[in-house]
Amino acid sequence: MIQTERIVIASAGNDFVNFTEREQEGLRRAGEILKAGGLVAFPTETVYGLGGDALNPDSSRKIYAAKGRPSDNPLIVHIADWGDLSRIVSRIPKAAERLAEAFWPGPLTMILQKSDAVPMETTGGLDTVAVRMPSHPVALAVIREGGGFVAAPSANTSGKPSPTLAAHVAEDMDGRIDMIIDGGALGIGLESTIVDLTVSPPRILRPGYITREMLEQVLGDVEADATILQSQAECGQAPKAPGMKYRHYAPAGELTVVCGEPEAVVEYINRRADEDRKGGHLVGVIGTEEMLDRYRADVIKSVGSRTEEDVIAARLYAILREFDAEGATKIYSEAFSVEGLGQAIMNRLLKAAGHRVIDLQVQQEVGENDSNRK
């Protein structure tokens, strides 16, 4: 156990630039910790990051240990100034310049060929590196104070939902890292879009706030990784069996996503909830504002209005964690549209569910539990 210092940057919105004296002093201390090889959790515009010096292999090792993350899962290197990019990549392609002009600072991560300055510990043994310039002023200040290159995965224990509040970070990281900077609730709530620029055409590896359409406006043709498209296939089409049994961003209870017409979804979830409650389960529901008063369950949570995807994105991870706190053992969620930001929302929701999906339109279930459910 180490002592985790907690500082608050109360003025932290996404649009302020003037820190108080006290805040500046805290940010300088964060920088010293990073330069000495320690770990600092800090707010970004997407989710809280768990930062360490990206050019120090020991710092990266500590990040993996604190998260309980396998060390072959590479970290994102965060920078604050465009001029610093050339130090960590071997070549800057034209596409990177164009994307940076359009979306940096902001919620976009680019995969590029790494330079020798970046240790293999940071890239999980790959010769490519993920780079992002966040827009959150606290993140930018922490990166600059810390020497310019901060490796930061999401500040959660591996497998748990990413933190969108400092309280989530403390839940997972208290006693494991040197400092937590509390910047309040975060704006976007889902991790950055990742685009691989080492392949042609560029390929989206993780959907996020910067959508495929937005990237295509800048780059022309952009592909999406097959595992992302799988999310689309799981609602409204013949279901595909999941290729891998993985669970990410996951609550402790068993989460099932239900696709179909709203009325049918409510009816189905209520019937399952009744059964589960008879069986002694504590049942949670994730619903949209529009359908909320129709559900019967122990804990019913609104993720926002169906028409406000940015609100759904910002609330999703906090809701998944709240179910843990309330002890839900079975959770059902409505499915959301996969257009625009909806694609990122459904991608995370389906991963959280381990791809356990009921599609009422095709009347068939896919997921880990195929074989053992009647």
Interface residue list for ligand TXA (CB under 6 A)? 44, 46-47, 49, 73-76, 109, 111, 123, 126, 128-130, 132, 134, 152-154, 191-192, 194, 205
Give the integer Cα–Cα distance in Å for 288 and 292: 6
Whole-number Å distance between alpha carbons of 327 and 344: 26
Beta carbon of residue 273, minimum distance to ligand TXA (angstroms, whole number): 32
Among Mg ion, ligand TXA, none, what does residue 27 contact (CB within 5–8 Å per kind)? none
By a kind-dependent CB cut-off of 5 to 8 A, residue 347 interacts, out of ligand TXA, Mg ion, none, with none
Q: Which is nearer to ligand TXA, 73 or 86 (CB)?
A: 73
Q: Smallest distance, Å, CB 6 to ligand TXA?
A: 18
69 vs 315 by CB, closer to Mg ion: 69
By CB under 5 A, residue 154 contacts Mg ion: yes
Give phi and psi for 286, each to the nearest 5: -105, 110
Q: Classify strands 150-151 and 223-224 as parallel, antiparallel or unpaired.
A: unpaired
How near is the Cβ of 329 to ligand TXA at its closest, in Å? 27
Beta strands across the sheet bearing 128-132: 5-8, 179-182, 40-42, 49-53, 150-151, 76-78, 128-132, 108-113, 193-196, 203-206, 223-224
Nearer to ligand TXA, 56 or 288 (CB): 56
Q: Give whichever of 73 and 369 is closer to ligand TXA, judged by the CB atom.
A: 73
- The residue type of 133 is M
Q: What are the residues whose beta carbons fall under 8 Å from the beta carbon of 81, sequence distance 6 or more?
A: 133, 144, 148
How far CA 263 is from CA of 215, 226, 255, 266, in Å, comes to: 35, 31, 20, 5
As measured in angstroms, the least distance from the Cβ of 164 to ligand TXA is 11
**The entry of ligand TXA, Mg ion, none that residue 111 binds, CB within 5 to 8 Å by partner kind:** ligand TXA
If binding is defined by CB under 5 A, does position 123 make contact with Mg ion?
no
Q: Which does 132 bind (CB under 5 to 8 A by kind): ligand TXA, Mg ion, none?
A: ligand TXA
Q: Which does 117 bind (CB under 5 to 8 A by kind): Mg ion, ligand TXA, none?
A: none
Q: Which is nearer to Mg ion, 190 or 358 (CB)?
A: 190
Strands (E) across the chain are located at 5-8, 40-42, 49-53, 76-78, 108-113, 128-132, 150-151, 179-182, 193-196, 203-206, 223-224, 254-259, 283-287, 299-302, 330-334, 357-359, 364-366
Q: Rounded to whole angstroms, how far apart are CA atoms 10 and 19?
A: 9
Q: Is the distance from CB of 365 to CB of 357 less than 8 angstroms?
A: yes
| Minimum CB–partner distance for residue 313 and ligand TXA (Å) | 12
Q: Side chain identity at 334, as an amino acid letter? A: E
Q: Specify the residue, 296 or 351, whose C-beta has the smaller distance to ligand TXA.
A: 351
Cβ at position 158, least distance to ligand TXA in Å: 9
Residue 193 contacts Mg ion per CB under 5 A: no
Instruction: Name the binder of 207 from ligand TXA, Mg ion, none, CB < 5-8 A by kind.
Output: none
Q: By the criterion CB under 5 A, which residues form the site for Mg ion?
A: 154
